[in-house]
Structure 1
């Protein structure tokens, strides 16, 4: 499902949903999720940021940013 090969091409809505589900159910941080799936953390963060989402460490999930970064 999530892999280094499809991180930049997977449908954004699927990526967002899967990442937040994995963070909620299985991982305590983005770093541990990326390590487990061998993902480039910067690419993941940049892809989500491009769509206006940032990582909220307190909630361990990606949330809509107050500041749009288009």
Structure 2
């Protein structure tokens, strides 16, 4: 799957893909961004609209209360 243009992927699907890649392949969010040549701000912004932010301690995007 081409992850370079995250803006074209449904936000909920992107969340699942990103968390799966973080769990199975990448040691950090920076590693994920570098490996898949993704737009960091685009991914963060898109997942923020769902109410998720990156937690480096668990290496996953988790929901937060607004």
Q: Matched residues in 1 for 2:48 and 2:54: separation?
A: 9
Matches within 5 A, 1:50-69: 50-67=49-66
Q: Does 1:22 align with 2:21?
A: yes
> Which runs of at least 4 in structure 1 moved beyond 6 Å after TM superposition?
none
C-alpha separation between the residues in 2 aligned to 1:53 and 1:59? 13
Residue 15 of structure 1 and its aligned partner are, at CA, apart by 0.5
Task: Tell me how far 1:3 sits from its aligned partner.
Answer: 2.3
- Structure 2 gaps of 5+ residues are none
Structure 1 gaps of 5+ residues are: none
TM-score, with normalisation over the residues of structure 2?
A: 0.90
Tell me how far 1:32 sits from its aligned partner.
0.5
- Which structure exhibits the higher relative contact order, with contacts defined as CA atoms closer than 8 Å and separated by 6 or more residues? 2
**CA RMSD after TM alignment:** 1.1
Q: For the residues of structure 1 that align with 2:2 and 2:63, how far apart are their CA atoms? A: 21
TM-score normalised to the size of structure 1? 0.85
Instruction: Report how many aligned residue pairs link the two structures.
Output: 66
